[in-house]
Amino acid sequence: MRNDTNKPNWMKTKGYLHLSPSLRINENWKSYQKKIQNPSFIQKYAFYPLMHSIIKERKYKKVNSEKHLNEKERTHNFKLDNFKFEKTAKKRPLHYATHFDALIYGYYASILNELYETELKKDLELDGCVNAYRKIILDESGKGKSTIHFAKEVFDEIKNRSDCQEEVGVLTFDIESFFSSLDHQLLEKKWSDLLNEEELPPDHKNVFKSCTNFSYVLRDDLRIRVQKSGKRSGFNEKKLAKIRKEKGFKSFFESNADFRNTIKQGKLRIYKNSFYRIIGEEKIQAGIPQGLPISAVLANLYLLDFDKNILDKVVKGKGGFYRRYSDDIIIVANVDDLGEIKNYVENLIKQSNLKISSSKTESFVFRKSIYNQEQKSRLTSFKQVEGNERKGAPLIYLGFEFRGFNTCIKSTNIAKFYRRLISIVRRRSNRAIRNKNANIPKAVFKNQIKKLYKKPLRDLDGENGEIKQTFRNRTFLVENERNEFSMIVKPSVNKNKSNYFSYIKRCEKIFDSKIFSKQLRKKEHLLNTAIAKHLNK
């Protein structure tokens, strides 16, 4: 519904640099809203190319005994039989829209999200099954649930079932290349069905085309020098400063003409959607870009019928428990039903032209097991691997490890935090060693290190690129008496600066357990060891 007095929720400011000018949303949001909510304007609108970057995430993957020589079950570096190594780092492509295009996607996402939520709430059980990309209210305070709550709900379900049955079965699935594999015809059909239309209206059709038949530029192509390896060069800061000063906005290009000329001169290449599905010997274009404001609701909408079928067959038909967080699926059910449910899920997902990642499909049985000489028993996980059981192998879900008798942070996440800490020490140590000023002691100050590793949670991972949750000073371009624009800095106000330690505290509060802080008990020792190693090398 249109609101002429209050800025709508989808009207959000974006801070990143792009191909077109940044927007003054607080001043001009009404004019933007008028254009975006005009279907005639949108159906003829030409969307800009997206900005493409890649997030690399270190992953521990299963070892395939037929291909790899690793002795451990999981690794981040596969050993090959030709004495070579293959890294398991996951490359996740992200695409960002220009500031105005992002507002358009945000508006249409709000329309679809409202209709999608209405559809889910027709069945309260269905409403509880889908967790990702939604604001699910926790209590009267209006606060939303987090992945901590979602994980606890699953673990509590396993515990509660173990009180009244000897064994509890659990299946976990992961959809392979979820966003980049969505079938365009199916997506368009589900989109029009949600609107209760036989086909998409012209404005929705144009937005759909921009999400599926998109073009993009590589962010690295905009750097001063394009290089395949080593430290990446910066951007043309002289040109960026000139645009800010003379034009009063932030952008890689001062005008559309400047952008078009750069392309015509062959200085910037435009790429087309490179996602595809293979049908027989033919490649069919598929997928949507991950990173658009509308991507999340489209991903949920695409699996709406899948969720309904799982609810009918597994939850209502077999008394199971089902949760889906984006492409991560978990089902709790009777042990005797696990084989049938596994086959059903793998066949059902094929109807959506998607595929379950077989290497990430895992099966667990939870039951009481004796753990000491006093013959006391406790709930314990038994991972099912090729007809064998691995006692105590954890069920990994949403960043947590659950063994039945305890819950803790995923060990690889703790390792990532420690690597970040050591990386900060190494960088500070190198800076101290290079310093030749005799009046400045060669030292690394712990308080400075702690300030860095207590930064906001998403800012800890240097691989997160554009999605960092940074809380920096806000900058504004203000015109001065010389008709030039100067940068005015105002401190940002954010009361909820979540860092890794506040995350640990929330885990302890929600799970009512002190085990999480114990997982970081080595941080002081690692800090001292890293300083001794890198400062005195």
Structural domain includes residue 488: no
Structural domain includes residue 348: yes
Q: Are 17 and 251 in contact (CB under 8 A)?
A: yes
For residue 470, pLDDT over 50 is answered with: no
Instruction: Please indicate, yes or no, whether residues 401 and 456 belong to a single structural domain of this protein.
Output: no
Structural domain includes residue 51: yes
Residue 387 is part of a domain; what is its CATH number? 3.30.70.2630
Structural domain includes residue 12: no
Number of structural domains found in the chain = 3
Domain membership of residue 349 as a residue range:
147-177+299-408
Instruction: Please indicate, yes or no, whether residues 74 and 191 belong to a single structural domain of this protein.
Output: yes
Structural domain includes residue 138: no
Structural domain includes residue 19: no
Instruction: Please indicate, yes or no, whether residues 94 and 206 belong to a single structural domain of this protein.
Output: yes
Instruction: Please indicate, yes or no, whether residues 221 and 88 belong to a single structural domain of this protein.
Output: yes
Instruction: Please indicate, yes or no, whether residues 419 and 404 belong to a single structural domain of this protein.
Output: no
Cα–Cα dist 472/474, whole Å: 6
Instruction: Please indicate, yes or no, whether residues 199 and 343 belong to a single structural domain of this protein.
Output: no
Instruction: Please indicate, yes or no, whether residues 247 and 393 belong to a single structural domain of this protein.
Output: no
Instruction: Please indicate, yes or no, whether residues 208 and 329 belong to a single structural domain of this protein.
Output: no
Tell me the residue type at 169. Answer: G
**Mean pLDDT across 276-296:** 89
Instruction: Please indicate, yes or no, whether residues 401 and 304 belong to a single structural domain of this protein.
Output: yes
For residue 482, pLDDT over 70 is answered with: no
Instruction: Please indicate, yes or no, whether residues 49 and 118 belong to a single structural domain of this protein.
Output: yes
pLDDT (0 to 100) of residue 461? 37
Indicate the pLDDT class of residue 443, thresholds 50, 70 and 90.
Answer: confident
For residue 456, pLDDT over 60 is answered with: no
Structural domain includes residue 521: yes
pLDDT in tens, 304-337: 999 999 999 999 999 999 999 999 999 999 999 9
Q: In what order do the strands lie in the sheet with 215-218?
A: 90-96, 50-57, 215-218, 271-272
pLDDT in tens, 396-434: 999 999 999 999 999 988 988 888 888 888 988 888 888
Residue that terminates a domain, selected from 377, 408, 439: 408
Structural domain includes residue 367: yes
Report the interhelical angle of 523-535 vs 446-453 (nearest 10°). 120
Instruction: Please indicate, yes or no, whether residues 105 and 195 belong to a single structural domain of this protein.
Output: yes
Instruction: Please indicate, yes or no, whether residues 77 and 193 belong to a single structural domain of this protein.
Output: yes
Q: Which residue has the tokens 């509880």?
A: 128
Q: pTM for this structure?
A: 0.86
Cα–Cα dist 279/6, whole Å: 49
